[in-house]
Chains A and B, each alone.
Chain A
Amino acid sequence: TQLLEQSPQFLSIQEGENLTVYCNSSSVFSSLQWYRQEPGEGPVLLVTVVTGGEVKKLKRLTFQFGDARKDSSLHITAAQPGDTGLYLCAGEEETSGSRLTFGEGTQLTVNP
């Protein structure tokens, strides 16, 4: 059983479209991070959310942490080909200390 479920697993859209990626769990997290990974490279941190209900914006990316701190979403407005990559959510469970558990990822392809 995957602790963090991401959906959709694959997403292919046209440049200019909006999209939302979801990260869900039955566990409570003290914090949740979103990473983006390109082929041949390690994941790179995009944002960290720590407070239930928190919303953070990073240019065209909007991240939300659920009120109960069990889920999160990533919304991209007017997607661009440069947004293509594997988006991973990672949670720090309240009971597991500093160990980060990753979701399976959403592979996003933005076509020009």
Chain B
Amino acid sequence: GAGVSQSPSNKVTEKGKDVELRCDPISGHTALYWYRQSLGQGLEFLIYFQGNSAPDKSGLPSDRFSAERTGGSVSTLTIQRTQQEDSAVYLCASSQPTGGVSPLHFGNGTRLTVT
């Protein structure tokens, strides 16, 4: 498909386990974002990748969170030793900066539940 794809769509894990969330951005989009959204709330910025530049990791809530983007395309968000407060929907978005304002194209998210 032509949109942003995230997998899995739902993930239930036990407290203390590690999880990996995947994002396939729109082909050709150089910018990729991860956000976290609690039920009915706004989006909390986590991390931003732009081309080959160093990622902006300023939104990661703790050192248990990390993300990488391989080959400028697919991205993986890893949460180690998950805690119940990590339960949320994790949204990925991509965009193609054109020098002006670039809209974000979002995936449908991964709903993470930590039991």
Contact = CB atoms under 8 A, between A and B. Distances in A.
Nearest to A103: B42
A100 B108 contact: no
A42 B100 CA distance: 23
Say what secondary structure dominates the interface of chain A. Answer: strand
A97 B33 CA distance: 13
B33 A100 contact: yes
B101 A42 contact: no
Interface in B44-58: 44-45, 48, 50, 56
B26 interface: no
Contact of A42 (B4, B31, B42, B50): B4
Interface residues of A, number: 27
A50 B41 contact: no
A105 B31 contact: no
Interface in B91-106: 91, 93, 95, 97, 100-104, 106
9 contacts: A33-B104, A35-B104, A90-B43, A92-B101, A98-B31, A98-B97, A99-B48, A101-B45, A102-B35
Which 10 A/B pairs are nearest by Cβ-Cβ distance? A42-B106, A104-B42, A102-B43, A45-B103, A31-B101, A105-B42, A102-B42, A48-B101, A41-B108, A43-B106
Interface of A: 6, 30-31, 33, 35, 40-45, 48, 50, 86, 88, 90, 92, 97-105, 107
Interface of B: 4, 31, 33, 35, 40-45, 48, 50, 56, 91, 93, 95, 97, 100-104, 106-109
